[in-house]
């Protein structure tokens, strides 16, 4: 690919995920960023590997963790990717270190992309208030209770925050993620933790 076709060349993306991540949301989002020229690191709660799932119930693949959340620093990355799966963000939101990592991207005004159940980390980290986003429909009440505006759209962008509902939205999600990450559009620091 020519440089002009790789809008994320020179960018480093942190992908925060744990056991239970939805395989297609992790692999397709990561592939889109890498094909656009980004260097992507898998950040997780523990070293070793994580186990992905298909539709939350069928084991899929194992992926090598590049750094633990304790080793990673948001300052070393240009953007954050939060894939879904029900179990993955539920595990992440139980980790204060993981939520501090998510919060740091907002504090540093770096773009963030979350799909499906990924926005649970945004709710838990206090980064939803005053923002418009979408997610898997079951998070609608959580987002509203956290002060966010939930919409039922294929992809929603709110000042550097990109969200989508489910795996069928991946083409639109990946395209918008690459576009916003390339622009380096910053997320507004408007939510309170």
pLDDT in tens, 132-165: 999 999 999 999 999 999 999 999 999 999 999 9
| Mean pLDDT for the chain overall | 94
Q: Considering the domain boundaries, does residue 192 fall inside one?
A: no
Q: Could you tell me which of 68, 31, 34 has the C-alpha nearest to residue 49? A: 68
Reported confidence tier of residue 184, pLDDT bands at 50, 70, 90: confident
Integer-rounded Cα Rg, in Å, for the chain is 15
Say which residue the tokens 């980064």 belong to: 127
Q: How many degrees, rounded to 5, is the angle at CA 157 between CA 56 and CA 6?
A: 85
Q: Considering the domain boundaries, does residue 118 fall inside one?
A: yes
SS3 164: strand
- Kindly report the CATH number assigned to the domain that includes residue 75: 3.40.50.880
Predicted pLDDT of residue 192: 42
Cα end-to-end distance, the chain, whole Å? 41
Q: Considering the domain boundaries, does residue 44 fall inside one?
A: yes
Predicted pLDDT of residue 35: 98
Domain that holds residue 61: 3-183
Q: Considering the domain boundaries, does residue 136 fall inside one?
A: yes
Contacts of 185 (CB under 8 A, 6+ apart): 111, 159, 160
Q: Considering the domain boundaries, does residue 176 fall inside one?
A: yes
Reported confidence tier of residue 193, pLDDT bands at 50, 70, 90: very low
Total count of domains within the chain: 1
Predicted pLDDT of residue 139: 98
Predicted pLDDT of residue 173: 98
Name the residues annotated as catalytic.
Answer: 116-117
Q: Considering the domain boundaries, does residue 189 fall inside one?
A: no
pLDDT in tens, 83-142: 999 999 999 999 999 999 999 999 999 999 999 999 999 999 999 999 999 999 999 999
SS3 119: helix
Predicted pLDDT of residue 99: 98
């Amino acid at each position: 690919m020519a440089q002009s076709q790789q809008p994320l060349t020179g960018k480093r993306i942190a992908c925060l995920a744990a056991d239970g991540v939805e395989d297609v949301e992790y692999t397709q989002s990561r592939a889109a960023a890498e094909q656009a020229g980004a260097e992507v690191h898998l950040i997780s709660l523990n070293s070793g590997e994580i186990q992905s799932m298909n539709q939350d119930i069928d084991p899929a693949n194992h992926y090598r963790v590049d750094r633990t959340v304790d080793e990673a620093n948001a300052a070393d990355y240009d953007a954050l990717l939060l894939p879904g799966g029900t179990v993955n963000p539920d595990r992440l939101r139980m980790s204060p270190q993981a939520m501090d990592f998510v919060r740091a991207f907002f504090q540093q005004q770096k773009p963030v992309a979350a799909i499906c159940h990924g926005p649970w980390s945004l709710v838990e980290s206090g980064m939803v208030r005053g923002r418009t986003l979408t997610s898997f429909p079951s998070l609608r009440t959580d987002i509203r209770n956290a002060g966010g505006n939930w919409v039922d759209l294929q992809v929603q962008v709110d000042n550097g925050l990109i969200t989508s509902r489910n795996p069928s939205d991946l083409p639109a999600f990946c395209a918008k993620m690459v576009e916003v990450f390339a622009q380096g559009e910053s997320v507004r620091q408007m939510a309170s933790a």
